[in-house]
Structure 1
Amino acid sequence: MLKKVMLVAGAILTGVISSLANAVVILQYHHVSDSTPKSTSVTPAQFAEQMQYLADNDFTVMSLTQAVEQIKLQQTGSPKQIVITFDDGYDSIIDNAAPILAKHQFPFTVFISVKPIDAGYKGMMSWQQIKKLTEQGATIANHSWGHEHLIRYLANETTVQWRQRVGQNLLKTEAEIKQQTGQSVKMLAYPYGEYNAELTSLLDELGFVGLGQQSGAAGNYSSLTALPRFPVAFDYADLSELTIKFTSLNMPVIKQNITDPQLKNGQWRPLLEVTVDTTDIDKHQMMCFVQGQGSQPAIWINDNTFSVQAKRDLPAGRKRYNCTVPSKTQTGYYWFSQAWVRPKNDGTWREE
């Protein structure tokens, strides 16, 4: 009888840990080129090396739509799952990235804004090229009409007016993508990675999935209107560092005291308290990083809640808190990132 109880308990624990470890790592690229801005680029050689690594090391490269469906249904996926995405629709995607992806038969998603394509901006793909990508199996998704700062209000704009304007922007973009490609997956990559509670609420109302630029693995503990992605470019394109991110796990966050990335006036040192399931982690190994201020250990308030806070005011613009901790039973680190976006002291936004 005791043996049976132990077997049942072991099975339950295994199931819990399996659920905790279930993760999808979503990669975010922009340019794949030797001649574009380094801050948003990987070279074709780097990209080829990264894709070859995934192929050689038994990673499952799945489509974004498959990954989202898995998260929606809280399904347990295979180990080492990767999704490949590109923002903006630059021509280096079809010229340099697509042939490498085709070699490995890897699916991928391109988030596009309509205005730069219609205007024929230099370095952007045309609709004809985008349609060619869809024939090769690419998914085309929403990046807003003109790559706007969606969280920002216009002068004298009310919340109702803002919701109407931004909602129309997203629906108009989605309609144009469907007209041009036949696809409508209703997934939005937030331009600049900026989102707030109002925008995620609007996406929920419109039936959209939202993806940010905060790092971490997506999974059962992720919000479908704020899925994390790992940006891959320049300083973040070295394969030796990426291999750690490729095997990252979805931090089992149960609750946060702050979920809205947009900081309120004067609250420039947000105190973030995070409650996690500690079944598969040694809490004393939890380490956090405040972007621009360096690393600091997590401060544990109780057995499963820790806090992290900037020691200096976060500057106007976009910043992040990142926290990682190794798994006790799996290969990889649980990874959590909280995005922040703040205006200047006078309430206006930094020009970008």
Structure 2
Amino acid sequence: MNSNAYGLLFLAAWLLLTLGACGPVAAPTMTATWTPTQTPTVTSTPTNTPTDRPTPTITPTASATPTATTTPTLTPTATVTPGPTPDGTVRTANAPILMYHYVSEPPADADIYRRDLSVTPAQLSAQIEAMAAAGFVSVRLSDLISYLATGQPVLPPKSVVLTFDDGYQDNFDHAFPLLKQAGFTATFFVITDFVDAGRPGYMTWDELRAMHDAGMDIGSHSRNHPDLAGQPLDFLVWQALGSREMIESRLGFTPRVFCYPSGRYDALAMQVVQSANFWGAVTVRQGATHSSEHLFELTRVRMRGSYSTADVMRLLTTDW
């Protein structure tokens, strides 16, 4: 074999040895190459972590839904100052609950409903004076309900409850001063969203606070005065519990009485109002004798602009 052949043989052997030696070296090189690829895989784990965090974020959204609020509804309700626990005794009381709305002169272009629901300040003043002269004593609606449920407080023999629906501005401007002057109390049912929005023609939170501080009863007339009959549960909770919580947050006390808007309600609406920790509720049905078995269907006597003082006194002494 010549020198060239030996040279080629030597070169081939060297290449084989070199390639054989590089085999184990190549493996770490591949490992080093895949290591960065594995790193993004690990990085994808944190990517899933933030994705999981929005899931709790959806929970608050569900909480804001009135349906979700239904469950917490009863829990805070129990924590608020408890209402009168019925003692099981069936009681009745003849105490007319008068239903007023506007206390002002209706405008010249007023429709039939506005004129019917309007009692002038002069009319209200004469009615209060006649009631006081006849020995009637005004009591708060919450006191009447408490008496029916527990027997306390004992009501005066000639008790009368004055209620004002909707929360009109003229209630503060005209009714409130007349009531204070006569030493009378009354219950005012307010539409909480209207007050909160500062709607013209309705009382403000500051005015309602001043009335409550002077001994007036403030009750709920729902959030925005809808028909409560045939409504779903979450809507009813939003109206009853929502209005109660708004009064609590704005005025610092828990309202005890509820007024069904336009007198429209059904069995479910009644149950929801009761579960929202109201003590009782009034309707627009006529009547003056109340029972402990119907605290959430209390009847009232509608006051009309066409009534004279003599008409009102006749209604107060009617055997309903």
Q: What is the identity, as a one-letter code, of the residue corresponding to 2:294?
A: S
Asked whether the 8 Å contact 1:114–1:145 carries over to 2, the reply is: yes
Tell me how many residue pairs correspond in the alignment: 223
Q: What is the identity, as a one-letter code, of the residue corresponding to 1:94?
A: F
Asked whether the 8 Å contact 2:283–2:299 carries over to 1, the reply is: yes
CA distance 1:22–1:170, change in 2 (3 Å): closer
How far apart are residue 21 of structure 1 and its match? 7.6
| Structure 2 Cα separation of the partners of residues 28 and 99 of structure 1 | 18
| Structure 1 Cα separation of the partners of residues 187 and 172 of structure 2 | 12
| Structure 2 Cα separation of the partners of residues 119 and 202 of structure 1 | 25
Secondary structure, counterpart of 2:207 in structure 1? helix
| CA displacement 1:198-219 (0-9 Å, x = unmatched) | 2223233333211101111143
Partner of 2:264: 194
| Structure 2 Cα separation of the partners of residues 21 and 164 of structure 1 | 33
Partner of 2:163: 85
Asked whether the 8 Å contact 2:131–2:313 carries over to 1, the reply is: no
| Structure 1 Cα separation of the partners of residues 172 and 289 of structure 2 | 27
How far apart are residue 171 of structure 1 and its match? 0.9
Query: Which consecutive unaligned segments of at least 5 residues does structure 2 have?
Result: 1-89, 108-113
Partner of 2:13: none
Partner of 2:141: 64
Q: 1:207 aligns with which of 265, 272, 277?
A: 277
| Structure 1 Cα separation of the partners of residues 187 and 150 of structure 2 | 21
Is 1:117 paired with 2:191?
no
Partner of 2:310: 240
Q: 2:255 aligns with which of 185, 198, 219?
A: 185
Query: Which consecutive unaligned segments of at least 5 residues does structure 1 have?
Result: 1-18, 154-161, 249-332, 336-352
CA distance 1:190–1:20, change in 2 (3 Å): closer
Partner of 1:46: 123
How far apart are residue 80 of structure 1 and its match? 1.6
| Structure 2 Cα separation of the partners of residues 65 and 221 of structure 1 | 13
How far apart are residue 56 of structure 1 and its match? 0.7
Asked whether the 8 Å contact 2:137–2:184 carries over to 1, the reply is: no
Tell me which protein shows more helix as a share of its residues: 2
**TM-score, normalised on structure 1?**
0.60
Of all paired residues, the percent bearing the same amino acid is: 27
Structure 1 runs (4+) deviating above 6 angstroms are none
**TM-score, normalised on structure 2?**
0.65
Secondary structure, counterpart of 1:228 in structure 2? strand
| CA displacement 1:15-60 (0-9 Å, x = unmatched) | xxxx998311111111100135212110111100000011111112
CA distance 1:95–1:226, change in 2 (3 Å): same
Q: 2:103 aligns with which of 20, 23, 32?
A: 32
Tell me which protein shows more strand as a share of its residues: 1
Secondary structure, counterpart of 1:234 in structure 2? coil
Partner of 1:338: none
Q: What is the identity, as a one-letter code, of the residue corresponding to 2:281?
A: G
| CA displacement 1:294-339 (0-9 Å, x = unmatched) | xxxxxxxxxxxxxxxxxxxxxxxxxxxxxxxxxxxxxxx1x2xxxx
| Structure 2 Cα separation of the partners of residues 221 and 132 of structure 1 | 31
Bigger Rg, structure 1 or 2: 2
Is 1:165 paired with 2:235?
yes
Asked whether the 8 Å contact 2:194–2:202 carries over to 1, the reply is: yes
CA distance 1:147–1:21, change in 2 (3 Å): closer
Asked whether the 8 Å contact 2:290–2:299 carries over to 1, the reply is: no
CA distance 1:207–1:20, change in 2 (3 Å): closer
CA distance 1:136–1:221, change in 2 (3 Å): closer
Q: C-alpha root-mean-square deviation of aligned residues, in Å?
A: 2.0
| CA displacement 1:189-243 (0-9 Å, x = unmatched) | 00001122222232333332111011111433661010011111223x3222221
Q: What is the identity, as a one-letter code, of the residue corresponding to 1:196?
A: D
| CA displacement 1:229-278 (0-9 Å, x = unmatched) | 1111223x322222122124xxxxxxxxxxxxxxxxxxxxxxxxxxxxxx
| Structure 2 Cα separation of the partners of residues 227 and 198 of structure 1 | 16
Asked whether the 8 Å contact 1:80–1:247 carries over to 2, the reply is: no
Q: What is the identity, as a one-letter code, of the residue corresponding to 2:313?
A: T
Secondary structure, counterpart of 1:213 in structure 2? strand
Q: What is the identity, as a one-letter code, of the residue corresponding to 1:215?
A: Q
Q: What is the identity, as a one-letter code, of the residue corresponding to 2:127?
A: Q
Asked whether the 8 Å contact 1:114–1:146 carries over to 2, the reply is: yes
Partner of 1:158: none
How far apart are residue 152 of structure 1 and its match? 3.7
Partner of 2:224: 146
Partner of 1:343: none
Asked whether the 8 Å contact 2:140–2:187 carries over to 1, the reply is: yes
